Amino acid sequence: MPILHLLILALVQGITEFLPISSSGHLILAWAVFDAEGLPGLSQSDAHRLVIDIAVHVGTLGAVCLYFWRDLSGAIAGFFKLIAGGRGPMPRLALALIIGTLPVVVVGFVAKDLVANSLRSIEIIAWTTFGFGLLLYFADRIGLTVRRLEHITVVQALIIGLAQVLALVPGTSRSGITMTAARFLGYERQEAARFSLLLSIPTILGAGTLAGLDLAKAEDAQLTADALIAAGLSFVMALIAIAAMMAWLKRFSFTPFVWYRLGLAGLLFWLVYGNSGLLPV
């Protein structure tokens, strides 16, 4: 696959994965643009494209692990303390991450064919981008800023985990919907983002492991090289995006991300319903 196209996909994924604007929706749009333009070298099967998509997700996984290495190491230590019956902030965080991950694992396993084949249209992305953008705005406006992650409860983690299930529909944004749920529950903006990003680790790790096994079975040297390049590029971009978002949320709100979502939704509505013929819908 041409390096330029890998770079574009890595840029799209790295920048959008942890911003509340939907990385999966942007990746689908990027592939649609490639196809609409008839760019050479992009005749990969859907299976190969999925591998590249997961590879750029794995790159962003490395970025979030590096940025939150203290929280991650604390959660891992907290997990073993939890098994031994220990209590405290870190065991509570480990339990919250487990509880928050279970719903999307179960639903994703049951509905994986539906998600992979039936929910990737531009029309669906347009509506989810619009609707969940508005929901983020209302959550950020009415949500209190009184809770920190150290005090998260099992019920709150479950609510955020159930919200994460909605992100199986492209355009929803995994980070966006989990931050929305956390803001409705009264978590500070940075704390909502912190838990959302930590919650991405087990989900992406599972998908990346499955993709790695598929690569090993395929024994496709070129696809493996493309996947490694894409992962490395997305790692760099995601690290920059995480640092920028956390710095922004320290002082400001989610409103710019909402405006972006509404603007993108408006463009997609025009492409879908305006008979532009520019993209397949």
Transcribe the chain into DSSP letters: --HHHHHHHHHHHHHHTTTTT-HHHHHHHHHHHHHHHT-TT----HHHHHHHHHHHHHHHHHHHHHHTHHHHHHHHHHHHHHHTT--SHHHHHHHHHHHHHHHHHHHHHHTHHHHHHHS--HHHHHHHHHHHHHHHHHHHHH----B-GGG--HHHHHHHHHHHHGGGSTTS-HHHHHHHHHHHTTB-HHHHHHHHHHHHHHHHHHHHHHHHHHHHHHT-HHHHHHHHHHHHHHHHHHHHHHHHHHHHHTTS-SHHHHHHHHHHHHHHHHHHHS---SS--
51 occurs within a structural domain = yes
Model pTM score:
0.88
Predicted confidence (pLDDT) per residue in 185-224, tens digit = 999 999 999 999 999 998 888 777 766 776 667 667 777 8
Total domain count, the chain: 1
Q: Which residue has the tokens 């209302």?
A: 138
Average pLDDT value for the chain: 87
278 occurs within a structural domain = no
138 occurs within a structural domain = yes
CB 191 within 8 A of CB 147: yes
Length of the chain counted residue by residue: 281
pLDDT over 90 (residue 43): no
139 occurs within a structural domain = yes
198 occurs within a structural domain = yes
Computed from CA positions of residues 157, 160, 165, 167, in that sequence, does the dihedral angle turn out positive or negative?
negative
239 occurs within a structural domain = yes
280 occurs within a structural domain = no
% of the chain residues with pLDDT over 70: 88
Domain with 79 in it: 3-273
215 occurs within a structural domain = yes
- pLDDT at position 215 is 66
